Amino acid sequence: MPRPATLPDWKDIPAVEGMPAGTAWALWGKDDTLGALNLLTPENTVLAAREIKTGLRVQLDLPMDVPKWPSFGRQQFAHEITFKPWSTQDIVHYNTQCSSQWDGFRHIAHPPTLKFYQGMDMAPYKDGKEPTRNGIHYWVEAGGIAGRGILLDWARWWMHEHPGQTLPNPCQSYAIPVSELDATAAFQGTEIKPGDILLVRCGFVQWYNQAKDEDRKTLVSGNDFKFIGVAPGQESKEWIWNHHFAAVAGDAVGFETCPVARDQNSLHQWLIPLAGIPIGELFNLEELAKVCEEQKRWSFFFTSAPINVPGGVASTPNAIAIL
């Protein structure tokens, strides 16, 4: 099993016949279900625990009913309480991608080949012959997600670089180049290490918290799905891969710029089915940003316990940063 220090750079990823460059299936073995999460070894966890200095904990999920009007036509969160004379119970209905979420390896295929992670086809997935392959429950069985997290607070960096200006509208297709993520890391004094869990703050949740309901409804669910995010394209792919992140996430609706490109430039169509790198979206990074600025450090111990749904497509993160 490769370790972060031995993973190849982009140009040296072993080729997979019939698939584009950057397909990392051969690195982990044909039966793998974890992808880059394999980097979160016990040794990695022990090292990551050294990031805990004050013991302060910050929860990183939005409330389940936020956004009130989910994007992409997804079902709204619904919560019902049943009553008996001596007790109550919850009944909830929700799309696992209606709020803060991990996109699992069953979420999206590589469009030109229609292959999911490790070459899985849609047919046995859809007809139930492979009901659990690539399911998010494998992440649970591996012990969840735990390692060193880093926050690249791009929104804070941008405001520092553009005094007196307003942060770019997060409900427009604003693409953040990876050169600015490097600049953010340098501004913070944050070292990026192999096996890190990357969190990028773009300012979307900050906007949502301050917006009126009419703007939330119009812009989050009816603006042609235009949202801020990391720029798609080859440069971003190579930057992500060569840093050997275990997972990437952010406060934006799609992590990358939306609408998501429907070509080889798309990060989604590379990260999930080809690279095996989980994507986190709509993480609540507001309190974490404040705490990191107060403590003048943007690295921490990160833990996430996905829901244990056999064959699950996605999950609430149930994520915590411990500083």
- Whole-prediction pTM: 0.96
Residue type, 47: L
What's the confidence (pLDDT) of residue 239?
98
Q: Is 90 exposed, middle or buried (0-12, 13-18, 19+ CB in 10 A)?
A: exposed
Question: Which value, in Å, is the radius of gyration of the alpha carbons in the chain?
Answer: 19
- Supply φ then ψ for residue 50, to 5 degrees: -70, -15
pLDDT of residue 223: 66
Name beta bridge partners: 17. none
Q: Three-state DSSP class for 10?
A: helix
Per-residue pLDDT at 228:
95
Residue located via tokens 């190579």: 238
DSSP assigned state of 274: I
Instruction: Set out the domains of the chain in order of their start, with CATH numbers.
Output: 7-322 (3.50.30.50)
Q: Annotate 20-33 with b (16+ C-beta within 10 A) or e (fewer).
A: eebbbbebbeeebb
Cβ-contact 234, 266 below 8 angstroms: no
Per-residue model confidence (pLDDT) at position 98: 93
Q: Print pLDDT tens along the chain (323 aa).
A: 566 557 999 999 999 999 999 999 999 988 999 999 999 999 999 999 999 999 999 999 999 999 998 888 889 999 999 999 999 999 999 999 999 999 999 999 999 999 999 999 988 888 888 889 999 999 999 999 999 999 999 999 999 999 999 999 998 999 999 999 999 999 999 999 999 999 999 999 999 999 999 888 877 766 678 899 999 999 999 999 999 999 999 999 999 998 876 766 899 999 999 999 999 999 999 999 999 999 999 999 999 999 999 999 999 999 999 99
Q: How many CB atoms lie within 10 A of CB 215?
A: 14
* β-sheet with 279-281: strand ranges across: 57-59, 319-322, 299-304, 145-152, 197-200, 247-250, 279-281, 101-103, 314-315
The single-letter code of the amino acid at 222 is G
Q: Is 321 helix (H, G, I), strand (E, B) or coil?
A: strand
According to the model, what pLDDT value does residue 86 have? Answer: 95
**CA atoms of 215 and 218, how far apart (whole Å):** 5
Residue 186, SS3 per DSSP: helix
